[in-house]
Structure 1
Amino acid sequence: KNWVTLKQLAGECYNEVTGTFNLTEPEWVEILEVLPEARRFKHDVLRHREKITLLFSSLM
């Protein structure tokens, strides 16, 4: 759920190829105020992203 919310908040700042978010520090601050659990994705990618995306595609 946090992954879906983070992708929605980040908008076009998500890079599908690298699996990372290209957000500025002020953008991260704003997002982490709303979704502190997303902190781990600031410096890491979602493991098994393809499988998780497939499983939860109906929610997106």
Structure 2
Amino acid sequence: MYQRRPRVVWKQDCVDKTFLDVCIHEIASNGWEGSSLKANSWKVVAEKLKNEHNFIVDQRKMKNRYDYLKSKYAAWVKLKNKTGNLYNPATNTFDITEEEWQEEMKSNKYVEKLRYASLLHPDLCTQLFDGSTSTGFHS
């Protein structure tokens, strides 16, 4: 009989920070496999999360989190690179009118997430995803 796995909740900021740190280290040490980490690297990340935070997660859930953060980062970069100095680095938020938010949300579902919660650890996301995301015409 099929048993559903419990839902993984990535609500702790420290778990995301560790996740990003270890992903950056693993890519620097072992390189990429396609657009993400190698299978052995995922095992290292899982072990680190378990040891440091008692956070148990499988490779599929980690890959889903990686892809989510990458997509949110791509939306953040696109908004940040818009002309008009809309980004406030002190608060890590955007000064955008309601109409502009609505227009941006039509083109990217991850923009809405940025409206209510800023991108966590933008410096780590930049290290991990910069150069591996598409933020231009074809994004």
Identical residues among aligned pairs (%) = 32
Q: CA contact under 8 A between 1:19 and 1:46: conserved in structure 2? A: yes
**2: CA distance, partners of 1:31 / 1:45:** 15
Runs of at least 4 residues of structure 1 off by over 4 A? Answer: none
Structure 1 stretches lacking a partner, 5+ long: none
**Please, which moves more after superposition, 14-23 or 50-59?**
50-59
The within-5 A match list for 1:14-53 is: 14-53=87-126
TM-score, structure 1 as length reference: 0.74
Q: How many residues align?
A: 59
**1: CA distance, partners of 2:103 / 2:89:** 22
- Is 1:7 matched with 2:80? yes
**2: CA distance, partners of 1:40 / 1:4:** 13
- Structure in which a larger fraction of residues adopt helix: 1
**Aligned-partner residue type, residue 126 of structure 2:** T
Larger CA Rg, structure 1 vs 2: 2
Which residue is equivalent to 2:127? 54
**Aligned-partner residue type, residue 116 of structure 2:** H
Displacement of 1:58 after TM fit? Answer: 4.1
SS at 1:46's partner residue?
coil
**Bigger relative contact order, structure 1 or 2, given CA contacts below 8 A and separation 6+?**
1
**Aligned-partner residue type, residue 37 of structure 1:** Y
Displacement of 1:41 after TM fit? Answer: 0.6
Displacement of 1:45 after TM fit? Answer: 0.9
